[in-house]
Chains A and B, each alone.
Chain A
Amino acid sequence: MKNITAVFLKQVKETFRNKAILIHFVMFPVLVIIMENAIKLENMPEHFFVKLFAIMFVGMAPLICMSSIISEEKENNTLRVLMMSNVKPFEYLIGVGTYVWIMCIIGAVVFAVCGGYSGKDFCVFMLVMSVGILLSALTGAVIGIFSKNQMSATSVSVPVTMVFSFLPMLSMFNESIEKIARVTYSQQMSLLINGIGNTDISVENIAVIGVNFLIAVVLFWGVYKKKGLE
């Protein structure tokens, strides 16, 4: 536990000094506050920007932050020092993962407040966001482990985040894209968030998110077995 705490606290210390990571945690929450308060159009769905940016935030922030932190540590050889100091790979991943998850959950609370969710709706919103953040963080870990350095991590994580972040938005305008996007967890999250207060969680939502989760776990295990953490 002390090793996980050491890794977690290291990340906390770095929060305000690592601008590249910090911007991903704050960009969408700040944007949603501005947009929700600044733009009011006729016929615009209620809390349109909350629903739109929440999915983008989940598809982008945990994935990029996780892959960036791991790949930077690999590139700078600080990860090796941790491993040689009796920090187990799973302890490191839990430490970094917990940090990323908590930081994103703080962002998710901002979305929930801006969206005016309360009671059961708040809980459902936070549950959907939590699962999405976990899935994206796991995908980010796969990319981080797979990549040798930050440059290669970025070149993989950017297109992946584009798919998960933007497919739900594009689905609003194109039915064909919507059909394809339904197999991604981010689209299912978008459906869930848009349905809060109106529709219940469906079998399709759970099945697709479950399969996505399973794929991420299998990928994580495969990449970790092949590449390890160094």
Chain B
Amino acid sequence: MNAISINGITKSFGDKKVLDDIKLDIKKGEILGLLGPSGAGKTTLIKILTGQLSAESGKSVINGTDSQKLSGKDYSGFGIMMDNFGVYERLSCFENLKIFARIYGIKNDRINEALESVGLSGDKKTPASNLSKGMKSRLRLARVFMINPDILFLDEPTSGLDPATADEIQKLIQNEKEKGKTIFLTTHTMTEAEKLCDNVALLSDGRIVEYGNPKEICRRYNHQKKLKIHLTDGTEKEIPHDENSAEIISELIKSGRAETIHTTEPDLETVFMELTGKELTA
């Protein structure tokens, strides 16, 4: 059974069509990455899926419920972390979570566990105003993890963070996946998508231009089909990726001249560029 089904979602703001006939299915326990540059419609789609916006046409179903008819009970089944969601600056990390623990009927132990899971247990008494941007992101994640939802909607969770903090957050997301959670992730960082996602959908101008497993997509667009061999003398050698090259590779390895051998399939950035003529990080 699909955790999320999106069928023909279309949305316009004024004359601009932001989403155009979006169709996606996300299985339980899957991480789907919605990749696209800023303004591609990623956040709009999350807002529609979580009932914050209504679609012009089409239907989306979350955990078996039409997303436009989500009730309070349904909301407790999924957690939403959006980049612009605020925290209570004057309250401590613990107090921030306590508000939502009261709403969801969660015990204090679970608050401590959630803070521990995002590495903020040492800052439980620190006011949110004293947290760095990365720590605030972790606090927002803790708020989502605390309610232990089946489905997580994460909108650009590592946006604007330094690589080390982004890496920490990616590990947290990976941990949630290992617990069997379904994760709908939007990002414009291709490495994040490659690292975390089972499947990615490339979104450009409101349309999905490609969908699939990140590695499969890259293989699909591997037009060059070459092998790149880095030699011990510092030079690089490119040879066709076919049976005729076997002897060359064998010779280089035997002579000890081959240092590394790589295939030359493109990354998601290059695929996106090929499909849309635009950069993913634009």
Contact = CB atoms under 8 A, between A and B. Distances in A.
A86 B103 contact: yes
| Size bin of chain A's contact surface | 20 to 34
Interface string B95-107: 1000110111100
Nearest to A91: B103
B50 A84 contact: yes
B221 to A, nearest CB: 38
A3 interface: yes
Contacts of B105: 2
A6 interface: yes
Nearest to A84: B80
B86 interface: yes
Contacts of A149: none
Interface string A2-41: 1101110110011001100000000000000000000000
Nearest to B72: A86
A40 to B, nearest CB: 41
Contact of A77 (B84, B90, B103, B143): B84
Given A2-B105, A84-B50, A86-B72, A76 B89 contact: yes
A2 B103 contact: yes
A78 B100 CA distance: 11
Nearest to A14: B90
A85 B50 contact: no
A80 interface: yes
Nearest to A3: B103
B52 interface: yes
A109 interface: no
B147 to A, nearest CB: 8
A87 B99 CA distance: 11
- Which residue, of A2, A3, A17, A85, has the highest number of chain B Cβ atoms within 10 A? A85
A148 B179 CA distance: 40
Interface residues of B, number: 24
Contacts, number: 54
A81 interface: yes
Interface in B61-102: 72-73, 75-76, 80, 84-91, 95, 99-100, 102
A22 B73 CA distance: 36
Interface residues of chain A: helix, strand, loop or mixed (majority): helix
Contact of B87 (A5, A13, A14, A78): A78
B253 to A, nearest CB: 57
Contacts of A5: 102
B124 to A, nearest CB: 14
A5 B98 CA distance: 12
B103 A17 contact: no
B61 to A, nearest CB: 18
Contact of B86 (A2, A3, A10, A77): A77
Interface string A68-98: 0000000011101110111110000000000
A10 B89 contact: no
A86 B71 CA distance: 8
27 contacts: A3-B103, A6-B99, A6-B100, A6-B102, A6-B103, A9-B99, A9-B102, A10-B91, A14-B88, A14-B90, A14-B91, A17-B127, A76-B86, A78-B88, A80-B52, A80-B85, A81-B85, A81-B86, A82-B103, A84-B52, A85-B100, A85-B103, A85-B104, A86-B72, A86-B73, A86-B75, A87-B103
Interface of B: 50, 52, 72-73, 75-76, 80, 84-91, 95, 99-100, 102-105, 127, 143
Interface of A: 2-3, 5-7, 9-10, 13-14, 17-18, 76-78, 80-82, 84-88
Shortest beta-carbon contacts, A-B, top 8: A86-B72, A76-B86, A6-B102, A17-B90, A77-B86, A78-B86, A10-B99, A6-B103
